[in-house]
Structure 1
Amino acid sequence: MTGTLPGASAVPLVRGPAGLLLDAIPDPCPVTTYIKSLDSAESRRTMRERLAHITALMITTPEGEAPPPPEQLAWWKLRFDHTQKIRAALRDQTRPDGDPWSPAYINQHIVAVRCTLRFCRRHGLMSADDHEAAADIEPVRGHREPTGRAVGADEFTKLLAACLTDDDNPTAGIRDAAMFALMHATGIRRSEIVSLRRSHYDAALRTLLIVGKGNKERTVYIHARAAQWINAWLALVPPGAGPLFRPVHWSGRIQDRPLKRSSINYRLQVRCAQAKVALLTPHDLRRTFISNFLAIGGDLPLAQRQAGHANIATTARYDRRDDTALQETVELLPLPTPADVHALAA
């Protein structure tokens, strides 16, 4: 069984209890209640996807058919032995390249099960004792080196230059350059880019009001050169309120709606190919900001504040400065030379 679970096997890896698959979605539905309780659209998508993976582990599906939705399972029928087998099956999953799933990825699935069981209990669908036993799932221990990379200065210059050489749609090129410069200079998330409004940008102070994860507001400060790109884009946008970044029709007409998150990934892929640089992701620009901020002596708590991380340890994991920088910094540490020590000992 590979990491692509839905429809990947006709035989489930976990034998669920009798009657686990329902004829229809129940009312109340603990999965629906749980997913709706999550504030972020990204979290709702992610955790439902994790529950769909687990559904594929437990339900026999004819080859070529998708498994039923997780909302159609009687999760309240799960007991301790079932959830332990789910944990063991998750631990054995591999990605398409054959590498095992990371502990963090497995633990996301475990959290999804625990939360669904909690809502089963809240809906009165299982007893307190049954809930306590079934939800007693230990997280998988382990560590993986951080993924992603920082973007070199030469690479990023080529990326912006590729945006400006878009003869077919120069308006889209200015927008892409402004968007990438902003992400590179502030570290804001892809989801935050698409939710930005013109009213959030203060050109005089070079600030942006961001509504980030957990519906938390923060103010980020924009590098003067990044602000020049934003101002160039806004000079092309029709006056009035609306999204800060918008789709551009092939004719060059700017549309009055926000970009989709997937559009940002696509624009980066296109511009990387045009610039002939290694593929990068929106999150790589976020990693690059934090790495560059720390490399010039920036304070880690300030980087955390700009990036909008709830935990400073998360910000530290985004540091992608290479081993050369680490080695150069180590060399700056005070340590007496052997000659100094011999001279003192003589």
Structure 2
Amino acid sequence: MLDLLPEQQPETLNLRCPVPLTQHPAAVYLDSLGSERSKATMREGLNIMARMLTGGECDAMTLNWAALRYKHTAALRSALEKKYAPATVNQMLCALRRVLKEALRLDLIDPQDYSKAVDVRSIKQSGKVRGRALTLSEIAALMESCSGKTPIDIRDKALIAILRGGGIRRGEAVNLLKRDFNLSTGALFIREGKGKKDRTVYLPESACVLVSEWLELRGEAPGPLLYPIRKGGEIQRRRMTEDGVLKIVQRRAKLAGVESFSPHDFRRTFCSDLLDAGVDIVTVQKLAGHASPVTTAKYDRRGEETKWRAVQHLEF
């Protein structure tokens, strides 16, 4: 348990009786998240913080979040910083602030107490950026690893085409329905992406060809666009999982001899390549489904060569 004063002990932070989920700030916050993966990640973060605050007596649903004050959140930040990496701490602090924001909206916490409680600084991170962009040769090697004619090869080519060509999140990919893809225009309709926002992205023609090959094998039945496939080639007509996408990407990287990368690196590659091609950042932002161009800029993984080419336009 955190080293708190007597008046801050766990009994003051326990919910004395259950409350409806519509009035529970943590439940309201978690329900606002788009993907099940995001919900699971943030729920675990809230559980960790609740246990730290109460010596293991509470979890996210039994802690009285509205009772938190600055003395709690400041002590919590300090304890988290000693135990977790900066990115993990900042993610949990973000969840904490969002839960307290819901408590304010539900009139469970005084505005002044709220403003003080959320006034905790994020942890400063090193300048090293996360993830990377894939090179054209790496993407070619990945596609070559899927050059066979088995159902798994055909499905994996379509999956890579969608992740690389559409720049979408893996959670968005597994949620795609067959009706969400328009072969004639290359449009992919993304339902309830991050922040539960819908958007439309467009696949290049080369990617559409690969998806169409999968559709010929998949058939016209309604349902998920992408299916899991057993090792023997049996297509399972159900939705893929995000973890399944991760394992496919890891397997293809190993087969292709490509340095390990994550499915999210396809998004970084997507944004970097479009920016390098001269597409304005607002358009890239809309395609990526980012709330702000500032977020899109963080996905830019173009190297020194791009900066060198840029200054060559200057005349003297």
Distance of aligned partners of 1:226 and 1:274 in 2 relative to their CA distance in 1, 3 Å threshold = same
1:7 alignment counterpart: none
Inter-partner Cα distance in structure 1 for 2:262 and 2:17 = 37
SS at match of 2:237: coil
Tell me whether 1:259 sits opposite 2:254 in the alignment. no
SS at match of 1:19: helix
Contact 1:207 1:221 in 2 (8 A): yes
1:137 alignment counterpart: 120
Tell me whether 1:91 sits opposite 2:86 in the alignment. no
Contact 1:14 1:86 in 2 (8 A): no
Q: CA-atom RMSD, angstroms?
A: 2.6
1:48 alignment counterpart: 43
Inter-partner Cα distance in structure 1 for 2:13 and 2:207 = 53
CA drift at 1:192: 1.2
Q: How does 1:307-326 map to 2 (within 5 A)?
A: 307-326=288-307
Distance of aligned partners of 1:313 and 1:222 in 2 relative to their CA distance in 1, 3 Å threshold = same
Distance of aligned partners of 1:154 and 1:133 in 2 relative to their CA distance in 1, 3 Å threshold = closer
Tell me whether 1:177 sits opposite 2:172 in the alignment. no
Tell me whether 1:152 sits opposite 2:147 in the alignment. no
1:17 alignment counterpart: 9
1:248 alignment counterpart: 229
Q: 1:195 aligns with which of 165, 169, 175?
A: 175
CA drift at 1:46: 3.0
Identity value in percent: 33
Q: For residue 27 of structure 1, what is the amino acid of its counterpart?
A: V
CA drift at 1:318: 0.9
Q: How does 1:28-39 map to 2 (within 5 A)?
A: 28=20, 29-39=24-34
Q: 1:282 aligns with which of 249, 263, 267?
A: 263
Contact 2:187 2:200 in 1 (8 A): yes
Inter-partner Cα distance in structure 1 for 2:96 and 2:284 = 33
Q: TM-score, normalised by structure 2?
A: 0.86
1:8 alignment counterpart: none
Inter-partner Cα distance in structure 2 for 1:207 and 1:124 = 43
Unaligned 5+ runs, structure 2 = none
Contact 2:32 2:195 in 1 (8 A): no
CA drift at 1:217: 2.5
Q: For residue 41 of structure 1, what is the amino acid of its counterpart?
A: E
Tell me whether 1:27 sits opposite 2:56 in the alignment. no
Distance of aligned partners of 1:131 and 1:294 in 2 relative to their CA distance in 1, 3 Å threshold = closer
1:161 alignment counterpart: 144
SS at match of 2:28: helix
Contact 2:164 2:269 in 1 (8 A): yes
Unaligned 5+ runs, structure 1 = 1-11, 62-66, 96-100, 337-346
Tell me whether 1:116 sits opposite 2:116 in the alignment. no
Count of equivalent residues: 309
CA drift at 1:39: 4.4
Distance of aligned partners of 1:37 and 1:160 in 2 relative to their CA distance in 1, 3 Å threshold = closer
SS at match of 1:262: helix
